[in-house]
Chains A and B, each alone.
Chain A
Amino acid sequence: MLRYRLSVQDSAAVLSDDQWAAFVHEFNDTGEGIDRLLSNDCASLIESLPQQGFDATQIQVLLKRGVALAIASEQWIGVGVWVLGPHDDLYPKSIVDKLGFARAPILFGYGNIGLLDGKATSVHLGDKKLTRNEQMCEHLGALLAVHGQTVIVNIDRTQAASVLNGVLSREGCGVGLGIGDLIEKGSSHYYRDGVMNNSLTLLSLTPPNCDGHIRVDVVEEVIAALSGNHLHFA
């Protein structure tokens, strides 16, 4: 609501990561629960905050988008995308633990939430020639799968698909996380079967089909938060 545009055409002045963090920080200082934003006098509460690094009017304008959000989320849920915020019971604890509530992003996903238990092995693909080799990447994925590890990669990287392909070829489990269009990825033949048989989870930090203004380094942070082991290939 405060951080995301709801469609490609949405031109709402959403909060940047820093503004969001500042708002959450000040809001937490009031000692109020998030429920307070549901109250009739939430406007006066927001205005009473010191507003260092964000603007109360901006927040209130954003909070007026209730119906728009209902429409947008109907579209997401309608095609089977689930949406998890840090307040949800199923939200991965490891993200809140490692990043803190303020930085914990909303997750838009397809597939098995059970794979997000913070124990996966992350594979970070760099730019060297080695990691551009499709077969090598597939082999790597297969190898990790054979050792029973859930593999997590930045799905927007070149060859991320190859790694996941390798994982799935050995009946392993994988997680792909990025900021791209989740519906497009989930509906592609590369990933569809894996998602449907619960061995692959696709996550996006932005709503489907929307420009979310999420920095790429946030993707890396979230991957780190969801991983127990890290493999870097520079």
Chain B
Amino acid sequence: MSVQRQDKITTPLSDTVNESQKLVKLEKVGVLCLLRGILLAKTPSTEDTMDRDKALDCLREALGDETAKFRDGQWEAIDRVVNKREKLLVVQRTGWGKSAVYFVATRLLRDSGSGPTVIVSPLLALMRNQIDAARRLSLRAISIDSTNREQWGEIIECIGRDQYDVILISPERLANDQFREQVLNSIASGLGLLVIDEAHCISDWGHDFRPDYRRLVNVLKMLPQNTPVLGTTATANNRVVEDVQSQLGEMGVQRGELMRESLALETLDVPDQATRLAWLAQFVQSQQGTGIVYTLTKRSADQVSVWLCNNGIDAKPYYSGVSLSGFPESNSCREHLEMLLLNNHVKVLVATIALGMGYDKPDLSFVVHYQSPASIVGYYQQVGRAGRGIDSAVGVLLRGNEDSEIHEYFRREAFPNNEVVTRLLQQLSRGDGYSIRDLEGYFNLSYTRLAQLLKFLSVETPSPVVKRGTKWFRTPVPFELDQERLKFLTHQREEEWDEVCEYVVTDQCLMKYLRNALDDQSTADCGKCSNCLGHSVVNVSPDSQAIRDAMLFLRRAEMPLELKKQAAPNAFVIYDITYNIPTGLRGSEGRVLSRWADAAWGRKVKEGFEAGHYCQELVEAVADMIEQRWDLSASPPQWVTCIPSLRAPTLVADFAKRLADRLGLVFSPVIKKLLDNAPQREQVNRFHCCHNLDGVFAVDADMPSGPVLLVDDTVNSAWTLTVASYLLRLNGSGEVLPLALANTGGG
């Protein structure tokens, strides 16, 4: 089955203008045609054609190696871009030397009088070492990003005076209208070469699709015909390459071999998490070098990293939004973590796919997937980080019980649904500009989700929404979600997932399986994977004690519970909380025992919830946590209360009472529920979470004194516990210590 991309450049023209005329109109925009001529006029004449010898001199200079030679395809790529001024997509494995290609090309183009090269790359931190390579070719390189915003003016002036040869920017910047107006227009005037790093992000057929790249595509389509463009990627299969080509128009493809000789692959089906953790600790301890462990969620990254540390392994978690003390900003924190691994100051990073494109550490000796990746394309990209510059490396994929469900969730959340899009556009049509905070009042969607949705819509062409300043407006453009395409893309992702499942169980050579799935039609077996060898490549088998330790670790993996500090404006009319909840009326930091339905206690919580009774094991688990691992010496709890429910009046109260008995404390159910509100778990954004609780509870001021444990079974946004803590404190309670059995939130 094949579905053609539909270029939706229809405009709200009169009915008398037919479809083909509309297309003609945009193609023939007079000014654009006029412009196409300009760079044609700047094409170097044939006498200027760069020869291979000169390019080789440049390469040797760049590498600081007088005997260096071009790798397969490097000269060909330079020749096509510099001499033939082609648009070229280079598909080569990472470590092949793409940066040498675009730096040598830039040197040659600059020597012939062309303008500077603009490199669009998603990973600027790691481009910094490329800036050094550029310097060796006497290329002056600069990165324009959020860290040097104050210097933009100065940088633009320097670019205007032709003082830079290479300008690095991120796709996010490129899609930012303000940046375009302030910076890009000035840079773009004399552009000599455009490099698009990780070009597969253009294709929404791949899991790496980034909305910002879609706007880049629109710009590329309008570029003067002979502006050289060099796209690079290490991970595209034919399907993605074809999609990139179809979007960018006339684009040549140069494809190298993907084989990585040094990599020994293995797959293991290890359904339960405890066994997997035990395996992982033993495996990492047995490895000489450094590596990456990939997880599907941030929570798993944190958990696995703590587990490895407990086992004496120097591990750190890595994901978008990760924090470390001393790093107020997450991006700089990520950069720091990347450098730690790069310099071997940490043994292993436990990362989500946020540690992705462009990360190049040649001596990385292992990559383990703690959970299965979404696709073979993604897997190859991630596992391919190992063994780039060393003789042997290991790539192991562990398949867990939970993987399938997590991917199903990701697929469900990947695209917006039609009803929400329609309602959002209707709301935007009712006024002249809304901030995302404004929209939260109308939609039960999280801030992030609303932001994603608006971003999704804003890269449609033409877009039904436009952002000006901090507000979003509805443009006068009819819009309909292309549901057929979204259905098709979801189906593609299901097929990609099936391919991963097949990889885990196949008995053919694993490297051959990957290469074939990536349309590299090789037939040779690698001779070093577990299937070729007929036995494991890593020789790890955790004993039963290690597995029991891991189970205990999972069962002791409670999480801190932070209550809210700021209410949504106008949400608490009855309680009259305007914005900040005063410090004296807030609950303290609490604890959540487990994650809903997880392998440790979460499954027991789910079973108890469904059966209408929480088992005594959970009482013991919570008591154990309180007594052994929650330091409450500063304010030891004197009594226990709980969140009441009208639907299951005894479920939580019974549990809280048994817990109080177990701890030798008084149980006093002082909180009353006055209204049968909608389930709090259905409330998504701040406004709805708050508003749904307004006036719902009342507290009996006749209560025991001293710090109190406030118990609930599940927690999602923590607003229920926040409001109950507020009411308890308002009515004179001592310190409030919130406690929940399971977290039902995402992450």
By a beta-carbon cutoff of 8 Å, the part of chain A in contact with chain B is 1, 6-10, 34, 37-43, 63-75, 77-90, 106, 110-115, 183-184, 186-189, 191-193, 195-196, 198, 202, 209
Contact = CB atoms under 8 A, between A and B. Distances in A.
B476 A88 contact: no
Given A79-B462, A187-B432, A9 B185 contact: yes
Contact of A113 (B17, B38, B184, B477): B17
Contact of B41 (A39, A83, A111): A39
Interface centre among B38, B40, B223, B432 (most CB of A within 10 A): B38
Contacts of A64: 38, 189-190
Interface centre among B24, B29, B431, B474 (most CB of A within 10 A): B29
A170 B180 CA distance: 41
A78 B21 contact: no
Interface stretch (B8-16, B489-497, B596-604): B8-16
Contact of A67 (B17, B25, B227, B476): B227
A88 B30 contact: yes
Interface string B160-200: 00000000000000000100111011101111001000000
Contact of B24 (A89, A113, A184): A89
Contacts of A84: 25, 29-30
B475 A77 contact: no
B223 A77 contact: no
B41 A42 contact: yes
Contact of B475 (A37, A68, A73, A187): A187
Given A39-B40, A187-B432, A70 B463 contact: no
A90 B32 contact: no
Nearest to A7: B181
B223 A67 contact: yes
B188 A114 contact: no
Contact of A106 (B11, B30, B190, B224): B30
A82 B185 contact: no
B151 to A, nearest CB: 16
Nearest to B220: A70
Given A38-B34, A73-B222, A195-B12, A87 B28 contact: yes
B461 interface: yes
Interface of A is mostly: mixed
Contacts of A111: 12, 476
Contact of B215 (A1, A9, A41, A78): A78
Contact of B461 (A78, A82, A106, A189): A78
B75 interface: no
Given A1-B35, A68-B189, A70-B222, 12 more contacts: A7-B180, A10-B181, A40-B43, A41-B41, A42-B41, A64-B190, A69-B32, A73-B29, A78-B463, A80-B475, A85-B31, A193-B429
A187 B463 contact: no
Contacts of A89: 21, 24-25, 28
A34 B34 contact: yes
A195 B478 CA distance: 10
Interface string B220-240: 001110010000000000000
B307 interface: no
Contact of B185 (A6, A40, A42, A184): A6
A186 B219 CA distance: 23
Interface in B238-285: none
A92 B476 CA distance: 22
A79 B222 contact: no
A71 B120 CA distance: 14
B466 interface: yes
Contacts of A72: 180, 185
The 9 residue pairs across chains A and B that have the minimum distance between CB atoms = A85-B30, A114-B14, A38-B37, A80-B462, A195-B476, A80-B477, A187-B473, A70-B222, A67-B188
Contacts, number: 201
Contacts of A37: 34, 37
Interface centre among A69, A83, A112 (most CB of B within 10 A): A69
B14 A115 contact: yes
A85 B35 CA distance: 13
Given A79-B466, A85-B31, A187 B476 contact: yes
Contacts of B49: none
Contacts of B429: 189, 192-193
Contacts of A85: 29-31
Interface centre among B21, B39, B476 (most CB of A within 10 A): B476
Contacts of A8: 181
A186 B462 CA distance: 13
B673 interface: no
A37 B36 CA distance: 9
B374 to A, nearest CB: 29
A74 B41 contact: no
Given A77-B461, A79-B466, A80-B463, A196 B222 contact: no
B559 interface: no
B468 interface: yes
Contacts of A67: 188-189, 191, 194, 223-224, 227
Nearest to A208: B466
Contacts of A83: 29, 31
6 contacts: A66-B36, A68-B188, A80-B476, A82-B26, A85-B30, A183-B466
A26 B59 CA distance: 48
B33 interface: yes
A62 to B, nearest CB: 9
Given A79-B475, A189-B431, A69 B25 contact: no
Given A9-B182, A63-B35, A112 B224 contact: no
B41 A40 contact: yes
A113 B28 CA distance: 15
A126 to B, nearest CB: 28
B138 interface: no
Contacts of B37: 37-39, 42, 63
Contacts of A193: 429, 476
Contacts of B36: 38, 66
B185 A71 contact: yes
Contacts of A183: 466, 468, 473, 475
Contacts of A73: 29, 31-32, 222
A41 B431 CA distance: 52
A156 to B, nearest CB: 18
Contacts of A198: 12, 14-15
A97 B463 CA distance: 34
B361 to A, nearest CB: 35
Contacts of A114: 13-17
Nearest to B118: A67
Interface string B434-471: 00000000000000000000000000011100101000
Nearest to A87: B30
A52 to B, nearest CB: 22
A187 B16 CA distance: 24
A34 to B, nearest CB: 7
B5 interface: no
Interface centre among A66, A188, A191 (most CB of B within 10 A): A66
Nearest to B429: A192
B81 to A, nearest CB: 16
A138 B39 CA distance: 51
Nearest to A36: B37
A193 to B, nearest CB: 8
Contacts of B287: none
A74 B218 contact: yes
Contacts of B54: none
A196 B462 CA distance: 13
A230 B417 CA distance: 49
A66 B432 contact: no
Contact of A9 (B30, B33, B186, B222): B186
B149 interface: no
Contacts of B35: 1, 63, 65-66, 69-70
A70 B223 contact: yes
Contacts of B647: none
B430 interface: yes
B375 to A, nearest CB: 29
